[in-house]
Structure 1
Amino acid sequence: MNSYQINNPTNVTLNLMNPGSVAVALIAYHVKDSSGDQYANGNWSGPSIAPGAAISINIVIDGTAFTFHAGMYYTVEIVTLHRYFTFTIP
């Protein structure tokens, strides 16, 4: 993750780059706050990231378990067909 932006209490934008040599398809994401509350989107038709490309993705939660607030810590796990990528939002 190159950077992030909290847009509102239920939406954060992650700026990601694929440094590899193969395209990566994003298929799901999980978000956890510092208290352990979780949100999962397992039915996400996320974008594919071409080799060497940078993209922005929006992570949207329903706001039931928790909401995003500046200064709080969140763990975002992006799921691909072959791997999990974990990012921390400080």
Structure 2
Amino acid sequence: MTMNSYRINNPTNVTLNLMNPGSVAVALIAYHVKDSSGDQYANGNWSGPSIAPGAAISINIVIDGTAFTFHAGMYYTVEIVTLHRYFTFTIP
């Protein structure tokens, strides 16, 4: 899975544009977000979408804003959890 682009929508919401270049569908089941200070947010009960082989989708990563908030120019690490592996993306 690759991230083609991202957009910070507001302090608690980021949209990631993802693509599945693989040959099997990928089911997204959880995500974790960490800011550059090491503060973390986890959503382990997320019913994310499945991405078909060769398909691109947009997903919203929503945090509660307690540990940190999103701001342009800051760095964040987003880890997307699937049934079989983790994918890590950096938002610069």
- TM-score norm. by structure 1 comes to 1.00
Give 1:18 deviation, angstroms. 0.1
Which residue in 2 is equivalent to 1:74?
Answer: 76
Q: Deviations over 1:35-56 (max 9, x none)?
A: 0000000000000000000000
- Structure 2 counterpart SS, 1:2: strand
Gaps of 5+ in 1: none
d(CA) in 2 for partners of 1:64 and 1:31? 12
Q: How many correspondences in the alignment?
A: 90
- TM-score norm. by structure 2 comes to 0.98
- Structure 1 counterpart SS, 2:69: coil
Segments ≥4 residues shifted beyond 4 Å: none
d(CA) in 1 for partners of 2:48 and 2:5? 18
Give 1:22 deviation, angstroms. 0.1
Which residue in 2 is equivalent to 1:37?
Answer: 39
d(CA) in 1 for partners of 2:12 and 2:64? 6
Q: Deviations over 1:13-40 (max 9, x none)?
A: 0000000000000000000000000000
